[in-house]
A and B are shown apart, each in its own frame.
Chain A
Amino acid sequence: MLTDSERREIEATLHHYPHRRSAAAGAMRTVQRHRGWLSDEALADIAGFLGVSVEELDSRATFANMLFRRPVGRHVILICDSDCCYVMAYEQMRDHIAARLGIGLGETTPDGRFTFLPIVCLAQCDHAPAMQIDDDFHGDLTPERIDQILASYD
C-alpha cells in the first residue's frame, strides 16, 4: 500500500499528463524518495495505484540509472566516470573513496552508511572531478576534500 503522503504526492502530478499511466516515472521517483529504493512490493503498490502492470514499471525501472531496485545505504555516492572527469583524474578519486570506505563500486558499507556507484556525466564538468552524494554536488575533488566531505555524512 502506498502511504498517504506518497499517494498525495503522486496525485498532485496526475493532471500534468493526459493519461494516468504517464505519471509512472515520477511516481517511482516519489516512492524511492520515501523508501530509499524500489522493492518488488513498492512497484506493485505503484502499479496498483496507476493501473499499469508491474512488468511495465520494471522495464522502466531497470533501464533508468537513477532508480534503485536493490537496497542502498543511507547515502548514495555517485562518482562521475565520463570523459571530463577522466581527464581530471576521477580514477584517483574513485580509488581513494574505495580505500576509505573499504568497498568497491556497486557495494554498500557493512554499517549501511554509504553505497558507492558510478554515474555518467553530471554536467559539473567545470568542476571536474565531481561526484554527487544524495542530492548534493561536490566538485573540484581532491583526496583531502573527499575526506572532509565523507565525514559530513553520518
Chain B
Amino acid sequence: MTDRHTTGVSPDERPLTAAFRADGRPANIADYEAAGGYEALRTALRELAPAEVTKLVSDSGLRGRGGAGFSTGGKWSHVPVGDMAPAIKYVVCNGDEMEPGSFKDRHLIEGNPHLLIEGMALACYAIQARTGYIFLRAQYDKPYALLTQAIAEAKAKGYLGEHILGSGFSLEIYLHVSIGRYMCGEASAMLNALQSDRPNPRWRPPHMASAGLWSRPTVVNNVESLCCVPPIVRLGPERWKSLGLTDEGGTRMYGVSGRVNRTGAWELPVGTPMREVIEQHAGGMRDGFALRAVLPGGASTPFVPAEAIDVIMDFDHMKEAGYSLGTGTALLVDDSVCPIGLVRNLVRFFAQESCGWCTPCWGGLPWAADVLNDIEEGRGRLSDLDLLEEQCWFMGEDMCFCDLAPSATKPLGAALKLFRDDFERHIREERCSYGPVGQPAGQRSLRGPGPDGGH
C-alpha cells in the first residue's frame, strides 16, 4: 500500500502535501488555491524584487532534493540578474527521477502538479527567466498529462503566460519528455538531452549559471526542490525552517521500498530519524524477515547497517556518520537477499548506464561487475577483494569526468566492509549459500545452509 498522507498535522506543517486530496486524485487548481496555492507567486510579483526571492530561498537553507544537496538559493544567486544581465535565461526542472529507488517526485506531481508549476514560476522570476522546461522521464505519461493540464489551468488564471497577474513578468513553461537514459539525470547531460544532443555530461567551467542550455545562463533544480519554494516564500524562511527537527530545517519526502509492511513516500520534518521512518511509517519489516542494511537514498549512496538506523536523516548528520542522504527514498535490504548479488546488480546498472566517455567509468565498471559476478557464482579469489578496493579508488571522485562511476563506488565500497564475511564465505565455499530472495526465515532452513552459515 502507498500511504501519501500523514494525519494529525496541520497543512502548514506539511506544505508539500497540504493540497493532496483525501480521495487520492490529483489536486486541481481550486484545491491548490484553497490550500494557499499561488499566494507566494502573487506576493513575489507584487512585493518582492527577484533578488529578494532568491534571498528568501537562500535564508531557508534549502538544499537540493535530487541527492547532491547543493544550496538551491546558492545556485540561483550565481545567475546574473539586472539590466546588464543576458536577456535569455532558463530554469530546467529535473523530473527525470531515474535514480534507482526513488519515486518521490512522481508522488509529488501526481498529488499536486500545481505546486511544481508555482515553484517553477518563482524560480523563473527569481533569476528572470522567461522560459522554463520540465524534463520528464519517458515513462511519466501520467505526470505529463497532469502537468499539461495544470499549465493550462494556470494560464487560464493568469499565473503563467504574458504579464503574469498584471505584472511585467512573462513566462512560458514547456514539458520535454526524455527518450530515456539514466545519464540524462546529470544536470549538464540533461541540458544536452534537452538540446537533442547526446546526453554526455559537460565539463565545467563554464558553469551552467553562466553558460548552460544553448549556452545561456541556466538553473537546474529537482522537482522536490522547486516544490519547496512556494511554502518558503509563503511561510517565510524562518517559519519554514522551524518545520524541521534539525538545523537544516523544512520538510522533505521520505520513502521506503523493500520487504516492509507499508511501502510508500511521506512528507516528514527534515531530520526524522531513519528508525522512525522505517518502524513508524513503513510499519517495520514483514514477518519472517530481518533488516540487514539500508540503501538510504538511491543506488548512489553507501549502505547503512541495520544497527545504525538511529541515524538522523538530514544531509549533515548522514554525512557525519559516514553515509549519504541522497534522495531520501530508502531501499531496505532484508536477510533473504544475498548482498553480493545485490551489489552485482547495482554495479551492473552503473556499468550499463555509463556514457562511455572516461576510462575509469567505461573500463572500471564492467570489470568490477565481472569480478562481482565471479564471486557470486563461486569463482572468486580472496585477491579479488583487494582488486575491488582498488577499483573504488580508481573510479573515485577525482578520477572521473562526472559522478556516475564514483556513485557506484559508494555502495560497493560500503559493501566490501559491511558484508566482508559474506564476500569471504562466497569465496571460501565457492558458491552462494543464499536461497531465492524473498524466502521467509522459517522456510530457509529447509533449503540448506542460510546466510548465517547455518551448516
Decide: A29 and B331 in contact? CB cutoff 8 A: no
Decide: B263 and A60 in contact? CB cutoff 8 A: no
Decide: B345 and A67 in contact? CB cutoff 8 A: no
Chain A residues near B98 (CB-CB < 8 A) = 120-121, 123
Chain B residues near A135 (CB-CB < 8 A) = 141
Minimum C-beta distance from A27 to chain B (A): 8
Within 8 A of B (CB), among A36-55: none
Chain B residues near A87 (CB-CB < 8 A) = 257-259, 331-334, 337, 342, 437
**Size bracket of the A interface:** 35 or more
Decide: B258 and A84 in contact? CB cutoff 8 A: yes
With an 8 A cutoff between CB atoms, is A109 at the interface? no
Decide: B341 and A86 in contact? CB cutoff 8 A: yes
Nearest to A81 among chain B residues (CB) is B345
Within 8 A of A (CB), among B98-144: 98-103, 105-106, 133, 137-141
With an 8 A cutoff between CB atoms, is A72 at the interface? no
Within 8 A of A (CB), among B341-384: 341-342, 345-346, 349, 352-353, 355
Minimum C-beta distance from A90 to chain B (A): 9
**Size bracket of the B interface:** 35 or more
User: Quick one: which of B195, B199, B334, B346 contacts A83, CB cutoff 8 A?
Assistant: B346
- Provide the bound-state CA to CA distance between A12 and B102, in Å: 32
Nearest to A61 among chain B residues (CB) is B179
With an 8 A cutoff between CB atoms, is B239 at the interface? no
With an 8 A cutoff between CB atoms, is B53 at the interface? no
Nearest to B437 among chain A residues (CB) is A89
Chain A residues near B255 (CB-CB < 8 A) = 125-126
Decide: B100 and A120 in contact? CB cutoff 8 A: yes
User: Quick one: which of A59, A63, A120, A122 contacts B349, CB cutoff 8 A?
Assistant: A120
Q: Mark A1-44, 1 if CB is under 8 A from B, else 0.
A: 00000000000000011110111111011000000000000000
Nearest to A136 among chain B residues (CB) is B141
Decide: A28 and B179 in contact? CB cutoff 8 A: yes
Minimum C-beta distance from B332 to chain A (A): 8
Decide: B102 and A65 in contact? CB cutoff 8 A: no
With an 8 A cutoff between CB atoms, is B182 at the interface? yes
User: Quick one: which of A17, A21, A124, A126 contacts B264, CB cutoff 8 A?
Assistant: A126
Decide: A83 and B138 in contact? CB cutoff 8 A: no
With an 8 A cutoff between CB atoms, is A127 at the interface? yes
- Provide the bound-state CA to CA distance between A84 and B198, in Å: 28
With an 8 A cutoff between CB atoms, is B174 at the interface? yes
**Sample of 7 more A-B contacts, CB < 8 Å, known A29-B179, A88-B259:** A16-B176, A25-B178, A63-B181, A83-B345, A88-B258, A126-B256, A126-B257
